[in-house]
Structure 1
Amino acid sequence: MAREHRAVLLCAFTVFTSLVVGVEERQRGDECADLNNATWQEYRQQRFKLQVQYLLLTRRNMDCAQMFNQESLSETQQQQQQQQQQQQPSYFNVSRPTTVIVHGYRVTGRKPSWVKQLARALLRAQDVNVLAVDWVYGASFAYNLVVEDYKEVAVQISILINQLQQHGCKLESFHFIGISLGAHVAGFVGTLFDGKIGRITALDPAGPMFKGADTFDRLDPSDALFVDAIHTDSDYFGISIPVGHVDFFLNGGKDQTGCARSLFPSMYGYVICDHMRALHVYMSALNGSCAMVGIPCSSYEDFLKGRCLDCDVFKGTCPTIGLSANSGIVVSPVPREQQLFLLTTSSPPFCSRHFLLQLEVSPLDKSAEVEVTLTTGNLRTERRLRLQTDTTVYRTVLSHPVALCEIDSIKLKNTGARFYRQSEIHVRSVCLSEFPSLRREEPLCVNNIHVRRGAPWSHDFVQVCGSF
């Protein structure tokens, strides 16, 4: 569907949902703090133009956020000196690193429900102060007006950072995580501090009104000591160009597996599923259940054709999504604007292994089509290859959730029909190898196969991981 149609649907969705947004939730007394909602009526009356506040979560109050401001800092200092507990103590600890979460554009004025989920995932992974920036009032409804204000939000955040510095925090101890437009807010904070803050992680940084912007006006590698970005919707709401030291383009950075390609299954799935996938993948990566590794390559097409199989530009250590220092890169200085590609699954934990499939066939009289299926238990990966009369060797990259040594079987099926009439295909060899290879396994190869239409061929592998 055309970009314009998608934009119209988004506007319609905005108007509908804004009618049911309730009055903003405010903190009273010692209740747990929360982000605000902004109503359409308030927006029309211009009661709120720009309001920035901060929520604090730590391992001591993971389930009950505190409001945080200059008074919180003074209160913390007094409590440390006097050890008085007359008021609720601030849990901010200047000796720990601080992670700052910056949400993006809020199309309906509703508070982002995922902020506390991300904060908890971060706190389970490391002992830090988490500050969530609430600028919902300034981030809602009219996107072009929101973009006009994003630098002012960054200025207000920088004032707080200056105050925290005065209380002993170091610039290099700050890690900003910006989602969509929030990534450019974080980038301008970095600009205000001459790129000396520690790290900025951009989760599908916003594209509209930023794709052609100068680096001063958008996120770029000079905004922090290290900038990493995850791209999942670069053809619509995300940006299509590299903006960090390393940029992970998941499934090419555009269409994500499991997201609806049509309006009918789900309004959410069609409008913003791709855009929000970066956030969900990042939260999943924080639990460390599996590594999400990016492979440097000049384009997604070259990656899929098996032309990029190693990480030599990083001296062999492939960057990973998550909290590893510099994404696991050990070379210095860290290269800039490195495009990294990886394939994911459609559901958590999203991580998958990359395999190079090489198929060599005897010369064909007619074109053909072969379906390749990898199976492990109830896990299946399928890929179709179109074979031509002028080519005998085919290379393609596919993904599968388990390691090479855990694959149970491979199946080839001649699916050629009306336009692919080769009745029998002689496969000289089919080889499967995992990359990047940590244990240097030998490829799994099967030779001399005849695949007829209507008679699939399969081969079972008998192996044990660690036996290589």
Structure 2
Amino acid sequence: MSQQHNIILLCLFTVFITSLVLGLENNSTDEECADLNNTTWQEYRQRSVKLQVQYLLLTRRNLDCAQTFTQQSLTETEQPSYFNISRPTKVIVHGYRALGSKPSWVKDLAVALLRAQDVNVVVVDWIYGASFAYNLVVENYKEVAVQISVLINQMQTNGCKLESFHFIGISLGAHVAGFVGTLFEGKIGRITALDPAGPMFKGADTFDRLDPSDALFVDAIHTDSDYFGISIPVGHVDFFLNGGKDQTGCARSRFASILVYFPVYGYVICDHMRALHVYMSALSGSCPLIGIPCSSYEDFLKGNCLDCDIFKGTCPTIGLSENSGITVSPIPKEQRLFLLTSSSTPFCAHHILLRLEVSPLDKSAEVEVTLRTESLRKEQRLRLSPTDSSRTDTTMYRTVLTHPLPLCEIQTIELKNTGAFYRQGDIHVKSVCVSEFPSNRQDVPLCVNNFHIRRGAPWFHDFVQVCDY
């Protein structure tokens, strides 16, 4: 889909959401606690609101009551700020907003960050400038970055170091963070981009979009690169979840029903917002989300990329670990990393390589591979093509499977020839092997040799193994 088409769709989407919130009034807020701004239909229609940026502060001391944060907050004595100069600072920057909507996820992300680390969390609220037509909002993003840089300069004056700042930008907010980094000549500590915006940025110069030079370390998570997100690497490491496009559990058809179904907002942005939800889940540390470097998603799915040798064997992880766990120096740039995820939190899935070696086939075939435990089963189908027996006496098929549990807990592998009568009726399997990756190089693949799979008669084999946790 062309970039221009994406922009048109975004503008149509803005108009649609606008029609849903006619007459929306500002919500009342607690007098003692700061809150995000809101944009009314009247303000949108008259375009009477100029770009306004405010900052909210959350720490472990005021987790349930955000504090307005200004330059004066750093020096005031009558009403001291909860801000602690000695601690690192996380800066959350939202992106484009549908009219009248506050980013409801901001508090959840702030809480997840504060549970993981004792830090200052500063939320950049530029909703007034982010709630018009998308192309008009893009015109504002650099001015937002300039205003943020004024605050950062003041914080530096009061003792904060640039390397202690970690910007977390969502969608268009990622490019806002990138331009802040440009203004500080790439000396900011870290920028994490959660599905950085694609429309109007894919072909942009690096000066106008996020790129690895904007911070000492830039990591990005891509989940909607064919619509609202960007499809090119923008950081030192770029995690492309499930290829970076269609996420498990999100509906595939995007815009056909946009004018029919009212619950369209979450429906349309499901892929786009998955990056945020995966990142928040990763902050809990319940399971590792590991990326594997590879030139393409297709090569990854074929099992052609199994290790992280470019990083000296340590695979990058999503989350707060320093430089995503990368220890090599200098850090490689624009590295495409791929991983498969599940459809719900904590989103982790174990990557399993299946290698199937079969004798030459006269016809095409389809094999359903099932990995079982006592309570779980996971299936995947593998298409086999006829081979020229004059050239080879065997054919190797490789594919990547996922399972919620590690390989050591899988008890049974089942193969079933699902082809109709016009397909191969009898498949001679020379060997089938399953192995988990990335591995510690001590793991031994589980293999079974020399058996036949007949149509309509499933073959299965039980493994006897113990997990060494």
TM-score, normalised with respect to structure 1: 0.93
What is the CA-CA distance between 1:459 and the residue it aligns to? 1.7
My pick for the range that moved more, 232-241 or 458-467, is 458-467
Deviations 1:214-265 (A, max 9, x none): 0000000000000000000000000000000000000000000000113669
Of 190, 195, 201 in structure 1, the residue corresponding to residue 192 of structure 2 is 201
Q: Which runs of 5+ in 2 are unaligned?
A: 388-393
| Alpha-carbon distance in structure 2 between the residues aligned to 1:7 and 1:202 | 20
The one-letter code of the counterpart of 1:54 is Y
| Alpha-carbon distance in structure 1 between the residues aligned to 2:453 and 2:416 | 7
Identity percentage of aligned residues:
78
1:176 counterpart residue number: 167
- Aligned to 1:107, what secondary structure does the other structure show? coil
2:22 counterpart residue number: 19
Work out whether 1:437 is the aligned partner of 2:439. Answer: yes
2:391 counterpart residue number: none
Work out whether 1:365 is the aligned partner of 2:354. Answer: no
Of 279, 284, 287 in structure 2, the residue corresponding to residue 287 of structure 1 is 284
Quickly say closer, same or farther: Cα 1:194–1:27, change in 2 above 3 A: farther
- Aligned to 1:257, what secondary structure does the other structure show? coil
Of 326, 330, 333 in structure 1, the residue corresponding to residue 330 of structure 2 is 333
Q: 1:21-420, aligned counterparts within 5 Å?
A: 21-25=24-28, 28=31, 31-75=32-76, 78=77, 87=79, 89-262=80-253, 267-390=264-387, 392-417=395-420
| Alpha-carbon distance in structure 1 between the residues aligned to 2:468 and 2:187 | 44
| Alpha-carbon distance in structure 2 between the residues aligned to 1:374 and 1:352 | 13
Contact 2:38 2:102 in 1 (8 A): yes
| Alpha-carbon distance in structure 2 between the residues aligned to 1:200 and 1:427 | 49
My pick for the range that moved more, 38-47 or 303-312, is 38-47
Contact 1:24 1:36 in 2 (8 A): no
The one-letter code of the counterpart of 2:453 is V
Deviations 1:391-443 (A, max 9, x none): 7210011211221111121111111126x611121111110011110262100
Aligned length: 454
| Alpha-carbon distance in structure 2 between the residues aligned to 1:191 and 1:11 | 30
Contact 2:14 2:133 in 1 (8 A): no
What is the CA-CA distance between 1:455 and the residue it aligns to? 1.6
| Alpha-carbon distance in structure 1 between the residues aligned to 2:190 and 2:202 | 22
- Aligned to 2:357, what secondary structure does the other structure show? strand
Q: Which runs of 5+ in 1 are unaligned?
A: 79-85
My pick for the range that moved more, 142-151 or 435-444, is 435-444
| Alpha-carbon distance in structure 1 between the residues aligned to 2:376 and 2:166 | 37
Quickly say closer, same or farther: Cα 1:44–1:12, change in 2 above 3 A: closer
My pick for the range that moved more, 32-41 or 227-236, is 32-41
Contact 2:92 2:123 in 1 (8 A): yes
| Alpha-carbon distance in structure 2 between the residues aligned to 1:99 and 1:46 | 32
Contact 2:202 2:232 in 1 (8 A): yes
| Alpha-carbon distance in structure 2 between the residues aligned to 1:21 and 1:352 | 42
What is the CA-CA distance between 1:107 and the residue it aligns to? 2.0
| Alpha-carbon distance in structure 2 between the residues aligned to 1:143 and 1:245 | 28
Cα root mean square deviation, aligned: 1.9
- Aligned to 2:271, what secondary structure does the other structure show? helix
| Alpha-carbon distance in structure 2 between the residues aligned to 1:33 and 1:439 | 52
Contact 1:261 1:270 in 2 (8 A): no
- Aligned to 1:285, what secondary structure does the other structure show? helix
Of 415, 423, 426 in structure 2, the residue corresponding to residue 424 of structure 1 is 426
Contact 1:357 1:397 in 2 (8 A): yes
Quickly say closer, same or farther: Cα 1:98–1:460, change in 2 above 3 A: same
Contact 1:10 1:271 in 2 (8 A): no
My pick for the range that moved more, 275-284 or 429-438, is 429-438
The one-letter code of the counterpart of 1:177 is I
Contact 2:317 2:325 in 1 (8 A): yes
Deviations 1:259-311 (A, max 9, x none): 01136696245410000000000000000011100000001011111111110
Quickly say closer, same or farther: Cα 1:369–1:268, change in 2 above 3 A: farther
TM-score, normalised with respect to structure 2: 0.93
Deviations 1:97-138 (A, max 9, x none): 000000000022311000010000000000000000000000
| Alpha-carbon distance in structure 2 between the residues aligned to 1:435 and 1:164 | 44
1:81 counterpart residue number: none
What is the CA-CA distance between 1:20 and the residue it aligns to? 5.8
Q: Post-superposition, which runs of at least 4 consecutive aligned residues in structure 1 deviate over 4 A? A: 1-9, 24-27, 263-266
Contact 2:23 2:41 in 1 (8 A): no
Contact 1:25 1:37 in 2 (8 A): no
